[in-house]
Amino acid sequence: DGGITQSPKYLFRKEGQNVTLSCEQNLNHDAMYWYRQDPGQGLRLIYYSQIVNDFQKGDIAEGYSVSREKKESFPLTVTSAQKNPTAFYLCASSPPDRGPSYEQYFGPGTRLTVT
Amino acid sequence: KQEVTQIPAALSVPEGENLVLNCSFTDSAIYNLQWFRQDPGKGLTSLLLIQSSQREQTSGRLNASLDKSSGRSTLYIAASQPGDSATYLCAVSLHQTGANNLFFGTGTRLTVIP
């Protein structure tokens, strides 16, 4: 089955610890994205990557880091510098941009709780 | 910066009713607009995508319209069912060097009462 997988579904960490969220896709998509969702707010873009070994900051990149060593994988690290890391994190991917019919496909999300 | 607003924030309707969800955006120079469905604690499922040159798209009981000049889109759901209960999100894109960055509204939480 083709799709986007995120693991784990729930993640708990102590304040001050770095944590890495996994995102894998087997859709052969070039672009991948990380969003954060908080109650009462829309999704906000953290980082995106258009090709392997390249990524760009989104609107709220501070306190996060990413890597894109393989086309299928785009892990997100939430560092101790992120002030409010507790949130629902969503990964997405999209095929090459060939016009305005192109869309993003989302994974099931990881809920991170930091105490 | 693109701002996306969805009204109402929550809506309850009896089963069988037709309903309309609203989405407005401040910058009319969009690339496309997507409507998504999100069930509690789950990811997003794409429902409809309207390209900037299109006026509407239909899928089953769903119809989405786009009026770029006024910065508005509506999602019409016909003959609502309890299974339609979810949060509906609207997102618009601005084309940026090949990456389709989406700007999301805060969603409308729909409850269809049996």
3-state DSSP assignment of residue B82: helix
How far is A108 from chain B, CA to nearest CA, in Å?
4
Q: How many contacts, defined by CB atoms under 8 Å, are there between A and B? A: 74
* Euclidean distance between CA atoms B14 and B79, whole angstroms: 10
Of B43, B46, B102, the CB nearest to A109: B43
Reported confidence tier of residue B59, pLDDT bands at 50, 70, 90: very high
* Per-residue exposure over B70-103, b if at least 16 CB sit within 10 Å of its own CB, e if not: ebbbbbebeebeeebbbbbbbbbbbbeeebbbbb
The pLDDT value given to residue A2:
66
Beta bridge partners of A65: A77
A34 Cβ neighbours under 8 A, 6+ residues apart: A23, A45, A46, A47, A48, A58, A64, A66, A74, A76, A89, A90, A91, A92
CB distance from A89 to chain B under 8 Å?
Answer: no
3-state DSSP assignment of residue B42: coil
* Euclidean distance between CA atoms A113 and A84, whole angstroms: 10
Sign of the Cα pseudo-torsion (B58, B62, B66, B67, in order): positive
Of B49, B52, B99, the CB nearest to A31: B99
pLDDT digits (tens, 9 = 90+) for A17-48: 999 999 999 999 999 999 999 988 889 999 99
Q: Which residues of chain A have pLDDT under 50?
A: none
Reported confidence tier of residue B28, pLDDT bands at 50, 70, 90: confident
How many CA atoms lie within 13 Å of A35's alpha carbon, on the beta-carbon side? 23
